Amino acid sequence: MQNELLQKLTDSVQILRAGDIIDGRVLAIENLAIFLDIGPRKTGIIYGSEYQNAKNVLKNIKLGDIISVKVLEPENEDGYVELSLREAEKELAWKTIKDIKQENKEFVVKISKVNKGGLITDVSGIPAFLPTSQLSPEKYPRVPEGDKAKILRKLQSFIGQDIKVKILDFDEKTGQIILTEESKGSESVQKAVKSLKVGDIVEGKISGVVNFGAFIKFALPEQKIDEVPEDSLLEGLVHISELDWQLIEDPAQFVKVGEKVNAQIIDITQGRVSLSLKNLKKDPWQGLNLKNGDFVKGEVVRFNTFGAFVQLKGVGGEAEQAKIQGLIHISEFGSEIKMKEKIEIGKEYDFQILSFQPQRHWMSLRLK
């Protein structure tokens, strides 16, 4: 009997540990503190910086409300259990985010802000980002020549709108959530997309040029684009890195709207088709007869914070046409100022190859 009573007593007393998420009933609301009933003979308190941090939420709380809180200190010197509302909300929010991602759920968000890269919203109170590249082709703001200022103005029209999205990726440590909008379309379009497979080669035409690549309207693999009505064509994206083997800074200088192209399907995800133009061209890096230690001529074409890009000269053939580039790292000069004193954009110099990795399309150089 004594053992049974001891067991019942043990079961009735909740053993709290720092980090536990628990529920509590609001007992009292004072100027800078809130007291909660959190179980037999235990009273919790939210005060100090925790009170200040959660002021926006706490102002809507009433006596008798049940709220989720996180245990910071199981018992302080006054006998209270110190609690955090903000930390509990954050932990529960990340649990919700993980569940949504795992179940690949589609849900609605309201756009609150924009920047030049995309749309800003939140998921369960955690800031989230919907990159412009992850908008469905139907929503992407098509702007002649990819004018960034005009694109930004078009994106601002989404503020206040609801958009149905999925979680593409998240990182709890950095607090980042990246969203994607699933491409919609008619039932016949969705059926056509499902008939495609990675590796298919399709005929299409450039339907839009953007700062991160180009959109292509294309026919099914067995069809000719000129024989298919415009409203029956599918649409996919060629990322800037898939346009060609050379480094491209401005897609508008490489492809034009209306231009006919052949492309290869490299990915189909959530109704979104990704294509490649460069996969249908010979990889010029594989034809280079070079090795570490060789000397080459090159023209400096671009500076950045970690070095200078050098376009190889005199390598011949397809490699010359593809504008193969190597990097001379800033460490070869000591500083950006010294680098710009030693070399100039548009001028040719003799370089030595430090590392040549054709499989990675990588070459590092130094001045001869």
Residue 338's pLDDT is 92
Q: Does residue 130 form part of some domain?
A: yes
Residue 162's pLDDT is 93
Residue 158's pLDDT is 92
d(C-alpha 292, C-alpha 311), whole Å: 17
Q: Does residue 5 form part of some domain?
A: no
Q: Does residue 10 form part of some domain?
A: no
Residue 231 structural domain: 187-280
Say whether both 197 and 159 belong to one domain.
no
Q: Give the SS3 label for residue 113.
A: strand
Q: Nearest-CA neighbor of 159 among 90, 219, 111, 91?
A: 111
pLDDT tens by residue, 101-136: 999 888 999 999 998 888 999 998 889 999 888 888
Say whether both 212 and 253 belong to one domain.
yes
d(C-alpha 46, C-alpha 30), whole Å: 10
Residue 89's pLDDT is 74
Please give the helix or strand (H or E) that residue 86 lies within, else none: helix 85-102
Please give the helix or strand (H or E) that residue 322 lies within, else none: none
Could you tell me the two tokens for 336?
């950006």
Angle at the Cα of 324 from the Cα atoms of 238 and 276, rounded to 5 degrees = 15
Say whether both 246 and 295 belong to one domain.
no
d(C-alpha 88, C-alpha 173), whole Å: 16
In sequence order, the β-bridge partners of residue 81 are 44
Residues 6+ apart with CB under 8 A from 75: 81
Residue 350's pLDDT is 94
Say whether both 254 and 311 belong to one domain.
no
Task: Write the CATH number for 354.
Answer: 2.40.50.140
d(C-alpha 123, C-alpha 177), whole Å: 8
Q: How many domains does the chain have?
A: 4
Mean pLDDT by 10 residues, the chain (368 residues): 44 70 87 85 84 76 85 85 80 85 91 90 91 81 68 88 91 89 70 89 91 89 88 88 87 90 91 91 85 92 91 72 85 92 93 92 91
Return the DSSP state at 274: E
Q: Which of 249, 280, 311 is the last residue of a domain?
A: 280
User: CB of 209 within 8 A of CB of 239?
Assistant: no
Residue 5's pLDDT is 40
Say whether both 268 and 222 belong to one domain.
yes
User: CB of 353 within 8 A of CB of 293?
Assistant: yes
Q: Supply the pTM of this predicted model.
A: 0.63
Q: Which of 222, 248, 280 is the last residue of a domain?
A: 280
Give the C-alpha distances (Å, rounded to integers) separating 169 from 121, 142, 240: 15, 26, 21
Q: Does residue 21 form part of some domain?
A: yes
Residues 6+ apart with CB under 8 A from 321: 284
